[in-house]
Amino acid sequence: MTSVEQDISKEETTQVTSEYLFELKTVQSSAFRVLVEALKEILTDANIELDENGLKVMAMDPTHTVLVHLKLDSNKFEKYYCANKLTIGVSMLCLFKLIKTMNNNDTLSLYIEKDDTNRLGIRIENGEKNSVTKYKLNLMDLPEEKIDIPPASFESVLTMPSNDFQKSCRDMAQIADNMEIKSVGNQLIFSCKGEFATQDTIIGETHTGMSFIQNSNPEEVVQGVFALKHLVLFTKCTNLCQQIELYLKNDYPLIIKYQVASLGNVKLCLAPKATNL
């Protein structure tokens, strides 16, 4: 492409997006809905950072026990425009109320108009029904939280079916408040201890099930005890992807990574309990 053609292309893009500070469009509407549905249980409100690279959320829950790190890449959307960095404060609960009836046949657009910067535009289009529904969500002025995460190397990194993890968390939540997650040898062990019962689930490696991506020292026991009420909330992300990644390190938060369809990923970090089972 010549420099003249590039200038024309830029000019056309500018003309198309001139009324917007920010705009995105995606056909992955169901994944976006599932994501917001899960996040509203963890974060009441959140600052969303927007720039040319995509959309990012880095926020802690009100108890400062859970850290959410969401990153959706601009090049994975059908359309994405954001010339300058923006930070918008959004009520996750209110956003979910507006998009909860979206389905796979809908196309979702989010935008901020230059002459209406205090509201997030939401447009839901359905080609089959030839329908368009528009909302304007009032934005919030939220304090910016500076969160620095030091780099860490993990003794155990493994992948497993998201449905299996959800089942283990739900089953154990019927018995106890906390769950121990332990990596020993080539096995992953979930354990809990309640007033009326205990449960141990031992999972070995299989091609379609659990497998280690990294197991730097198989002889070392890597474990932590985590609150099941938070883990059960995390599993609301189950329908985002078939496989999840678990990052385990002694005396360190558990990190669970879910792919957000093909748009990016969300990492949910949970501080360990200072207790044994």
CA distances from 121 to 92, 118, 136, 150, 205 (A): 15, 10, 5, 36, 46
CA distances from 108 to 25, 126, 193, 274 (A): 6, 9, 44, 43
User: Is 156-270 the same fold as 19-138?
Assistant: yes
Residue 168, pLDDT score: 98
- Name the pLDDT band for 27 (thresholds 50, 70, 90): very high
Question: 190-247, pLDDT tens digit by residue?
Answer: 999 999 999 999 999 999 999 999 998 888 999 999 999 999 999 999 999 999 999 9
| Mean of pLDDT over the chain | 92
Residue 14, pLDDT score: 40
Question: 139-173, pLDDT tens digit by residue?
Answer: 999 998 888 877 889 999 999 999 999 999 999 99
CA-based nearest residue to 239, from 173, 170, 161, 172 = 161
Intra-chain end-to-end CA distance of the chain, in Å: 64
| Single-letter amino acid code for the residue at 75 | N
**What are the boundaries of each domain within the chain?**
19-138, 156-270
| CATH architecture for segment(s) 156-270 | Roll (3.10)
Judge whether residue 12 has pLDDT over 90: no
- Which token pair is 224? 């932590």
CA-based nearest residue to 49, from 13, 74, 85, 8 = 85
Judge whether residue 185 has pLDDT over 90: yes
| CATH architecture for segment(s) 19-138 | Roll (3.10)
Question: 80-108, pLDDT tens digit by residue?
Answer: 999 999 999 999 999 999 999 998 899 99
Judge whether residue 5 has pLDDT over 90: no
- Residue 248's SS3 state is strand
